[in-house]
Structure 1
Amino acid sequence: MNRAAIYIRVSTDRQAEEGFSLEAQHDILMDLIERKGLQLFKVYSDPGVSGGSFKRPGIQMMIKDMKDGKFDTILIHKLDRLSRNLGDLYGFMAMINKLEVRLIIAAQGSEEIDTRSPMGKAFLLFSGIWAEIYLDNLREETLKGLVKKANKGGRHMSRPPLGYTYDPEHNLVIVEDEAKLVREVYELYLSGMGRNKIAQHMNSHSRLKEGGKWDAKAVLTIVSNPTYAGFNHFKPADWDQDKRILTQGDHEAIIGVDDFEKAKKMQSRRKSGEMSNNSYEYAYSGILRCNKCGSNFNGNSTKQKLKTGMTIYKGYRCHNNYLYKTCDTPFISETVLNKLVFERILLSGQTVQERKQKRKEQVDMQKEVEISNRRRKNWMMALGDGKLSPGDYAMLIEDEEKRMNDIYAKAKEEDVYEMEIPTEDLIQMMINLRDHWTLLDAGTQKEIIQSMFRKITLEKKENGWQIVDLLTV
């Protein structure tokens, strides 16, 4: 086919000044296409975008066209135009190898690099390693600066939270109409109302926030934000909550510190699995997931007056169906759900030996992965010590990738992937409980279910309800 795609990128003005402008890259690569006798298909570009990840429109469009088979060669000026992230680079190389697409790097030292050669593959891998080291160091230095600013009481917010705005000096000032919403959310939360119920209440009473309707996530964001209690705070996404940097801010608080601390303790209680403050105990609260939309199920009770008195029917509704009507998964009664769960666990007991064999196969596959990782590491060290040539290293890596791909393919055919295997103790416990379950009070039922399961995924099919996935604690 000999159709080629060009990819060019710049991220800063400094790169342009040093000769890495889009125009310069384009001219060099067009000259290379002419010398190689290739036919240009398209030029893809990402002007002013960092190479730290593949979340770039130009490269994403190029990948899509590559998968569609629109070209068989890619030309770039230098490796860092493609990516500085080793994970992205490794994944991209695996992709072009699978699709049999050639990558040519026009200017890397004094020679061009062609990834179809063993030397080219080895060079690309090592260049990616150094690029990632550079990027990691840059992130670390940036984080140090942010932490230093936070410890001095600095504020890290690109936009103010609901209830505040910025004045011309970039100080936080209260927006009273929005602050009323924040106070109402806190009042409902401290009264014991759950996040989903609060969202439903706010939406049904037209207490709309900026950006649209309320949901459980928006409620949690408010009751867990220290800004409302008068604090500045900083926590990168990969830090634990107890490492959050908290300093006294210079803005007016919307919520008292005591109320903020109470809300914080309530979050901790609910997260740890303690009993909820609801009037009725929902045994499967926080465990059920809808297989159709991925949302949680919320507990729901209906009352019916009978001759014998008032009867309460408990069950669960899909969150997206209940609040937004964006899913058609219907209500499931707790009676039906209990029957499903008991049947699923007891059925597992009948095939426990087969599942044990599956677990052994999973362990064997994991051992193969560990062996492969050790081999790659040893080859890398040998290459660094000069005991292995780049060409031999590249061929070893290629053979190892083929070996592991064969193992993964076999595992997929035999379904040797992670699955939940109920223990024999759990199976026996469910057998013992089956005939006495209805005699237990709601609180005890919830305590048992919460201690056994961490996720149960449900789906309503033509032949009835099914448990798609069940994960134990």
Structure 2
Amino acid sequence: MSQTKMRCAVYTRKSTEEGLDQAFNSLDAQAESCSAYILSQAGEGWTSTGQVYSDGGISGGHMERPGLLAMIADIEAGQIDIVVVYKVDRLTRSLADFAKLVDVFDKHEVSFVSITQAFNTTTSMGRLTLNVLLSFAQFEREVTAERIRDKIAASKKRGQWMGGLPPLGYDNINKQLVVNELEAKTVRHIMIRYVDLGSVRKLKGELDRDGYLTKLRTTKKQSQLGGKPFSRGHLYKLLSNPIYIGKIRHKGEVYAGQHDPIIATSL
């Protein structure tokens, strides 16, 4: 009975560009060691694809790496059975990213081997080690999420605006809400007309008739959003937003903000 061939690809990475111009550099050394290991496992059916995916001078703290992305594309195309690296941290230094990569590997039935750390998910012990690492990755994500939630809550209680798209009437200047006087006039007009009309439906009709539009925004990609007639939902949100009276809302509670109000509370 013929043995199933396991197609092995090598991934190498070096954080800095130092020494990469040498005839035989760190990436070459990693690739050579991994290729030799694959050859030593020929009796297990391992065979090299001849493909080495490399990222030189790129941090392992993120996944936006050309070599890594090319390897993932070939995994998704069904061209790889085993990924071989010199050390686990060559693949990634982030537990969260490691968990994402493992999801890709599992989905396409790809194993992962680190030749210097006895880490091999083709074995039961390797899979056990993997599960332990993924448990720590989940723990890290949960702790990070808790810290972010706590930081946001504490900041909002101090009246800090925590970013995002600034509402009509304000601009984001150095992560602070600063009154946009031209837009502020529109906000005040909307508030005053609502008090006079007593109806969002009537207010919308009047704003549409007079040509009032929502806040026009330019994205980082230079495309434009907004600049359209107000919907009733937009108006309900604007009319009930405590930010216009200098307040910050968080989980049903309202705190004094650090920004200037547009509407006097006596209105």
In structure 2, do the counterparts of structure 1 residues 173 and 182 end up closer, same or farther at CA, with 3 Å as the change threshold? Answer: same
Query: 2:73, 2:206 → 1: CA distance?
Result: 41
SS of equivalent to 2:200: coil
Identity %: 19
Amino acid at match of 2:184: A
1:226 aligned onto 2:242: yes
Q: Is the 8 A contact 1:33 1:40 kept in 2?
A: no
In the TM superposition, what whole-angstrom CA distance separates every residue of 1:146-190 from its partner, at most 9, and x where no partner exists? 43333333332266433123567x754321221233345554696
Structure 2 residue corresponding to 1:212, chosen from 201, 217, 226? 226
Q: Is the 8 A contact 1:153 1:249 kept in 2?
A: yes
SS of equivalent to 2:74: helix
Structure 1 residue corresponding to 2:83, chosen from 74, 80, 96? 74
Q: Is the 8 A contact 2:55 2:65 kept in 1?
A: no
Structure 2 residue corresponding to 1:180, chosen from 176, 180, 185? 185
SS of equivalent to 2:201: coil
- TM (normalized to structure 1)? 0.38
Counterpart position of 1:143:
149
In structure 2, do the counterparts of structure 1 residues 123 and 159 end up closer, same or farther at CA, with 3 Å as the change threshold? Answer: same
Counterpart position of 1:105:
114
Counterpart position of 1:247:
255
Gaps of 5+ in 2: 1-5, 17-24, 40-47, 217-224
Q: Is the 8 A contact 2:172 2:178 kept in 1?
A: yes
Amino acid at match of 2:78: G
Deviation at 1:141, TM superposition (A): 3.3
Query: 1:199, 1:43 → 2: CA distance?
Result: 61
Q: Is the 8 A contact 1:7 1:74 kept in 2?
A: no
In structure 2, do the counterparts of structure 1 residues 145 and 9 end up closer, same or farther at CA, with 3 Å as the change threshold? Answer: farther
Query: How big is the alpha-carbon RMSD for the aligned residues of Structure 1 and Structure 2?
Result: 4.5
In structure 2, do the counterparts of structure 1 residues 98 and 137 end up closer, same or farther at CA, with 3 Å as the change threshold? Answer: closer
Q: Is the 8 A contact 1:181 1:207 kept in 2?
A: no
Query: 1:49, 1:227 → 2: CA distance?
Result: 41
Deviation at 1:45, TM superposition (A): 8.7
Structure 2 residue corresponding to 1:132, chosen from 138, 148, 158? 138
Query: 1:29, 1:200 → 2: CA distance?
Result: 70
SS of equivalent to 2:95: coil
Amino acid at match of 2:200: G
Amino acid at match of 1:126: V
In structure 2, do the counterparts of structure 1 residues 67 and 172 end up closer, same or farther at CA, with 3 Å as the change threshold? Answer: closer
If asked which structure has higher relative contact order (CA below 8 Å, sep 6+), I would say: 2
1:42 aligned onto 2:42: no
Query: 1:180, 1:123 → 2: CA distance?
Result: 62
Aligned residues: 228
SS of equivalent to 2:9: strand
Query: 1:105, 1:219 → 2: CA distance?
Result: 57
In structure 2, do the counterparts of structure 1 residues 162 and 28 end up closer, same or farther at CA, with 3 Å as the change threshold? Answer: farther
Query: 1:229, 1:146 → 2: CA distance?
Result: 21
In structure 2, do the counterparts of structure 1 residues 82 and 166 end up closer, same or farther at CA, with 3 Å as the change threshold? Answer: closer
Query: 1:180, 1:46 → 2: CA distance?
Result: 52
Amino acid at match of 1:174: V
Gaps of 5+ in 1: 11-15, 17-23, 236-240, 260-473
Q: Output aligned runs, 1:352-431, within 5 Å.
A: none
- TM (normalized to structure 2)? 0.61
In structure 2, do the counterparts of structure 1 residues 97 and 155 end up closer, same or farther at CA, with 3 Å as the change threshold? Answer: closer
Deviation at 1:125, TM superposition (A): 0.7
Amino acid at match of 2:53: K
SS of equivalent to 1:103: strand
